[in-house]
Amino acid sequence: MAEHIVSSYDNDLQGLRQRISEMGGIAEKMLVDSIVALVRHDKTLAQVVVTSDKRLDVLQREVEENAILTIARRQPLAVDLRETISAIRISGDVERIGDMAKNIGKRALAIGDDFQPQKIVVGLQHMGDLVLGQLKDVLDAYAQKDTAKALDVWKRDGAIDALYTSLFRELLTYMMEDPRNISFCTHLLFCAKNIERIGDHTTNIAETVHYLVTGETLAIDRPKNDRSIDATVASGA
């Protein structure tokens, strides 16, 4: 009988992990597609990104509800309880990553065929690649319960923040050079911010993986390199 209970609990956990894995795959695809849609002015693809978000929302609610039913039914302790708590937290972060990608998709739909400076496009793509790498790695770290890999993701977020700050400065400069750039540069500013926030969510997931494996909360402050708030540009440009 005890064995039966254990195995039902394992089945529950398996179901949670499968859903999170499906969510991760959707979020990765949404991130890639949103940036492609943005830089190639591909409105069809942008629309696909916006639509995909619904599935993520459904899966996130399922993870949350099933995790809580599992806790209520099986009364897990210690590491097993951490498994279910972590599933709730990670699905929340992945769902928000989908929201960010959806926002980029919506802006891709709005921007239309406005000219985009090559330097900005390259910068956005580079940020997107870095964040995608973080997302893939942290989802692997979760699947493999690899806290070293999770810590590595956590430490690398600073590079994304630094890139965001430099892109932010670049966009301000374009806006100052020519007022006709302001409208679409504002869209790109928010897109860059969305990518940067996806990076923040990957570090949240890294923290959760660390908690899942060790039972401890990462106490030290996360390395932040986002200096965009302090970014000042010579105003007379």
Q: For residue 71, state whether it binds a copy of itself (rule: CB under 8 A).
A: yes
Nearest Cα neighbor of 141 from 197, 192, 203, 85 is 203
Q: What is the footprint of a copy of itself within residues 131-160 (CB under 8 A)? A: none
- Measured distance between the N- and C-terminal CA atoms of the chain, rounded to whole angstroms: 76
Size of the residue set binding a copy of itself (CB under 8 A): 41
| Site membership for a copy of itself, residue 73 (CB under 8 A) | yes
* Nearest distance from C-beta of residue 84 to a copy of itself, angstroms: 8
Q: Which of 19, 156, 193, 210 binds a copy of itself (CB under 8 A)?
A: 193
The rounded distance, in Å, linking the Cα atoms of 156 and 121 is 22
Burial label, 115 (beta-carbon count in 10 A; 0-12, 13-18, 19+)? exposed
| CB of 1 or CB of 236, closer to a copy of itself | 236
Residue 10: name the closest of 61, 79, 65, 58 by CA: 79
Cα separation, 184 vs 208, whole angstroms: 36
How many Cα atoms sit within 13 Å of 193 on the Cβ side?
Answer: 12
Q: What is the DSSP letter of 113?
A: T
Contact of 141 with 201, CB cutoff 8 Å = no
218 binds a copy of itself (CB under 8 A): no
Measured from the CB atom, the residue of 2 and 77 that comes closer to a copy of itself is 77
Residue with the two structure tokens 């985009």: 116
Closer residue to a copy of itself (CB): 44 or 235: 235
Q: Which is nearer to a copy of itself, 13 or 132 (CB)?
A: 13
Member of 175, 188, 198, 209 binding a copy of itself (CB under 8 A): 175
Instruction: List contacts with a copy of itself (CB under 8 A).
Output: 61, 64-65, 68, 71-73, 75-77, 81, 84-85, 88, 92, 106-107, 109-110, 172, 175-177, 179-180, 182-183, 186-187, 189-190, 193, 217, 229-233, 235-237
